[in-house]
Amino acid sequence: MVGRGVSTAPKLAELRPDDQMDAALRIALISFDYPPDTPVGGIASYMAATAPSLAARGHQVHVVCATPGDTRSERRGRLTVHRIRASHIDEFRAPAAETVRMIDVSSGIDVVETPDFDHQAFFVPDTCPHLPLLMRAHTPLYMIQQAEAQRLPVAQRLRAAVGRLRAGLVRYDDPRHPNHIPGRVLAHRCDLIVPPSGALAKRLVRDWALAPSRVRVVPMAFEASAGFDGELDLPAGWEEVVLFVGRMDRVKGIEDLAAAIPRVLRARPLR
């Protein structure tokens, strides 16, 4: 652990991707968005797939999420969903941390996972300093803003840059902007940062000044359809396939794929 209290949970920094867990873990997943009450965005989809999958593997899983309705808890087997009445993320952070504390007191928690977006677990290190905290990096808000800014006309971007220089302002999509500082602070208080790709890991280490040893790349998992054995049923003559999975958006790397296609064709010319 890094600068945290004593815990009986596995030391996250010492785990390897192929480690086998002999005992079930008690896991808390924090996410403002979680279906069906708050089903918006990729983090909601990730949590909706991850939580029941972990429970199916024998772990005790608690999801702490938001709802526009009444605060309540729902249990289905090893998965318990704690819905907190909150219409905005600012109304969610403190009660989410308190809910994690109450779960830990009543049944114990081995590890807490939170997304990087909106520093949702900001108060957990203070409320539960002994619990290992893992941050699952999806895409920080400033990176999304940087990608969206590239869509603006060059002249508009130049005018904005000149205006900021004259006023002595930091770009709104700069990780050093005040709006993004809490996310960086939380990252430094987490025991482990887990991005899904090496490219994102490098950016986080650079932008947030993280020790590389505290960042571990773990690709996103998926549930294969029933009967799928890993072999694609391709038309005759299709020997090699380039596959892109994701929204057709700059944030998802579609431009990087387009730029790579000429190199792919040089290495594997069409026949």
What DSSP letter does each residue of 129-177 carry, written as one string? TTS-EEEE-S--HHHHHHHHHTTS-HHHHHHHHHHHHHHTPPPTTSTTS
Q: Which run of H or of E encompasses 89?
A: none
pLDDT of residue 6: 35
Tokens 């947030």, residue located: 208
The mean per-residue pLDDT over the stretch 99-119 comes to: 95
Tell whether the model's pLDDT for residue 9 goes beyond 70: no
Report pLDDT for 1. Answer: 32
- Banded model confidence at residue 22, pLDDT cuts 50, 70, 90: low
Q: Looking at residue 23, what is its pLDDT?
A: 64
Helix (H/G/I), strand (E/B), else coil: 24: coil
pTM: 0.79
Kindly report the average pLDDT of the chain as a whole number. 84
Residue 206 and residue 77: Cα distance in Å, rounded? 42
Task: Give the pLDDT confidence score for residue 241 in this predicted structure.
Answer: 77
Weakest mean pLDDT among 103-117, 142-156, 190-204: 142-156
The confidence score (pLDDT) of residue 233 equals 76
In the structure encoding, which two tokens stand for residue 141, read together?
A: 């808000």
CA distance 135 to 191: 8
Q: Which residues contact 225 (CB under 8 A, 6 or more apart)?
A: none
Give 42-50's long-range contacts (Cβ < 8 A, gap of 24+).
42/138, 43/115, 43/117, 43/138, 46/115, 46/136, 46/138, 46/220, 49/221, 49/222, 49/223, 50/221
What pLDDT, on the 0 to 100 scale, is given for residue 150? Answer: 77
**The pair of three-digit structure tokens given for residue 30, joined into one six-digit string:** 């924090």
Long-range pairs of 245-251 with CB within 8 A, sequence gap ≥ 24: 249/147, 250/147, 250/148, 250/150, 250/151, 251/139, 251/143, 251/144, 251/147, 251/148
Strands 60-67 and 26-30: parallel
**pLDDT score of 228:** 72
Please give the helix or strand (H or E) that residue 17 lies within, else none. none
For 112, the 3-state DSSP assignment is strand
Question: Distance between CA atoms of 253 and 41, rounded to whole angstroms?
Answer: 17
How large is the average pLDDT for residues 175-191?
A: 92
The pLDDT assigned to 252 comes to: 75
pLDDT at res. 240? 75
Q: Match 């899904």 to its residue by tokens.
A: 196
The residue with greater pLDDT, 225 or 6, is 225
Average pLDDT estimate for 26-33 = 96
